Amino acid sequence: MNVLVINCGSSSLRFQLIDPRSRRLLQKGIVERIGAVSSVATVGMEDKPVRHGVQAADHREALQWVLENIQRNAADSVEIQAVGHRVVHGGERFHDSVLIDEEVIDAIREAFDLAPLHNPANLEGILAAVRLLPEIPHVAVFDTAFHMTIPRTAYLYALPPRLYRRYRVRRYGFHGTSHYFVSRRLFDISELSRENSRVITCHLGNGASMAAVLNGRSIDTSMGLTPLPGLVMGTRCGDVDPSIIFYLIEKEEMSLNEVHSLLNRYSGLLGLSGFAADMRLLLEEAEKGDRRCQEAIEVFCYQARGFLGRYFAVLNGCDAIVFTAGIGENSPEIRRRVCSGLENLGVRLDPERNQEAAGKEMKISADDSRVQVWAIPTNEELVIAIDAQKIAETAKQTPWV
Ligand code: ADP
């Protein structure tokens, strides 16, 4: 079976063609600058990407190009049997992946207010794909779904409860597909069993979040109503005192839009360093002695360590910590710094294993470490493909024909 996995941003469309049964990635790529005078598509695996100039006025034209390109690149004609769509916000309604029908589309639209940067783009992708491939099942996989097991005490904010009743203002959490994947993978490759396990998953990429996973279920996570709070991110501020917003409006005479943009696009590692959001570049400059880059990295690691401590408390101890995503998978230096000073909590890295684990699935803790520490590459697309396959197989017919 071939599943096309689609992840749409406001001007981008990422895709992977996966056979979920063999877990094989067949093709992948991204179309960027959708809606601009000329768009750019990059297709193929990391070692030999090929770039194309593309005319894509909207997501539908981008997807049309992708579908034609998939056929061009395959030896035989490719039959796509299902499409899996990444959807960022499922509100409180979706605890699992679902077959997309009109009702699901309405619910994704209802969550626009909760994720104004993401859900509209995700829906664009769904509508384009349903129009181009109406005869096959389309499945939505939500970033929030894995966190729907978080108990009420952990998801309620200390605000008047009518705000939750009326507007569903609460902690949701994101990167759920990634936290789910790496926690399940840990049970596959370690001797830990899901029952009786206390795991902290650290998704450290451009966006960053952590989750406390008890017996395989998420019971707390660092993001909230939106993906803005929690850890320091590439351009997002993570946790800040909400009063800062009022202070900025008053002192700098900023509009709400400007504050929104400051916190989402010009803060985090970029804001602190005044140089870059990209951890690789920051590590390089820090090494050369740039003080602001050094400080940005220190704040990033300090915040992450603080959340580890918090989840040790939430879980009443910890059996394993898992690092994943761009930084978590690839940076021994950041993992070392995040875990440093946690010896009294039973965390001891093995420096050589840590160094060796760059983009590899590996245990990186010392043999005498009470807490196991792992680096596990995430694979959100595979989860989406597997869910789409399962749901497509049970769907009698698609709602679109
Ligand atoms: P996204 O949230 O966009 O999916 P990724 O998970 O791809 O982000 O993570 C991107 C981040 O990972 C960037 O900050 C990048 O610098 C960082 N990164 C990738 N490789 C390395 C590396 N070898 N060392 C340090 N950071 C890395």
Residue 355 Cβ inside 6 Å of ligand 1? The answer reads no
The residue to mutate among 223, 330, 379, having the most atoms of ligand 1 within 8 angstroms of its beta carbon, is 330
Residue 205 Cβ inside 6 Å of ligand 1? The answer reads yes
Residue 264 Cβ inside 6 Å of ligand 1? The answer reads no
Residue of 47, 113, 143, 387 marked active site: 143
CA of 241 to the centre of ligand 1 (A): 27
The residue to mutate among 16, 280, 338, 354, having the most atoms of ligand 1 within 8 angstroms of its beta carbon, is 280
pLDDT of residue 396: 66
Number of the ligand 1 atom closest to the C-alpha atom of 208: 2
Residue 207 Cβ inside 6 Å of ligand 1? The answer reads yes
How many CB atoms are closer than 10 A to CB 273? 24
The helix/strand/coil state of 230 is coil
DSSP lists the bridge partners of residue 188 as: none
CA of 10 to the centre of ligand 1 (A): 21
Q: Which residues of 137-163 are buried (b: 16+ CB within 10 A; e: fewer)?
A: bbbbbbbbbbbbebeeebbeeeeeeee
Report the distance separating Cα 294 and Cα 291, nearest Å.
5
Number of the ligand 1 atom closest to the C-alpha atom of 378: 6
Spatial CA neighbour of 170 closest among 180, 186, 178, 158: 158
The residue to mutate among 175, 232, 327, 376, having the most atoms of ligand 1 within 8 angstroms of its beta carbon, is 327
pLDDT of residue 401: 64
Residue 121 Cβ inside 6 Å of ligand 1? The answer reads no
What does residue 197 show for φ and ψ, rounded to 5 degrees?
A: -125, 140
Helices 256-265 & 243-251 angle (0-180, nearest 10): 120
Number of alpha carbons in the 13 Å side-chain half-sphere of residue 395: 23
Spatial CA neighbour of 283 closest among 294, 272, 275: 294
Q: What share of the chain is helix, strand, coil (3-state, %, to 5)?
A: 40, 20, 40
Report the distance separating Cα 259 and Cα 330, nearest Å.
32
Report the distance separating Cα 28 and Cα 4, nearest Å.
9
Residue 331 Cβ inside 6 Å of ligand 1? The answer reads yes
Spatial CA neighbour of 179 closest among 154, 152, 150: 150
The structure tokens listed for 52 are: 């194309």
Report the distance separating Cα 43 and Cα 70, nearest Å.
9
Give percent above pLDDT 70 in the chain: 99
What are the counts of helices (DSSP H) followed by strands (DSSP E) for the chain? 15, 14
Alpha helices by DSSP H, listed for 111-209, are 119-132, 152-155, 161-167, 176-189
- CA torsion 303-308-314-318 (nearest 10°) is 180
* pTM reported for the whole predicted model: 0.96
The DSSP code for 78 is P
Spatial CA neighbour of 316 closest among 167, 214, 177, 399: 214
Q: Is 188 a catalytic residue?
A: no
Number of the ligand 1 atom closest to the C-alpha atom of 269: 14
Spatial CA neighbour of 397 closest among 80, 214, 134: 134
CA of 332 to the centre of ligand 1 (A): 12
pLDDT of residue 391: 96
Q: With a cut of 70, list the residues of the chain below it in pLDDT.
A: 396-401
Are β-strands 138-142 and 372-375 bridged in parallel, bridged antiparallel, or unpaired? unpaired
How many CB atoms are closer than 10 A to CB 260? 15
Cβ pair 199, 371 in contact under 8 A: no
pLDDT of residue 77: 86
Report the distance separating Cα 394 and Cα 388, nearest Å.
10
SS (H, E, C) 165-185: HHHCCCCCCCCHHHHHHHHHH
Report the distance separating Cα 290 and Cα 192, nearest Å.
42
Residue 91 Cβ inside 6 Å of ligand 1? The answer reads no
How do residues 279-293 score in pLDDT, each as one tens digit? 999 999 999 999 999
The helix/strand/coil state of 5 is strand
How do residues 121-180 score in pLDDT, each as one tens digit? 999 999 999 999 999 999 999 999 999 999 999 999 999 999 999 999 999 999 999 999
**pLDDT averaged over the chain?**
96
Q: What residue's CA is closest to ligand 1, atom 7?
A: 326
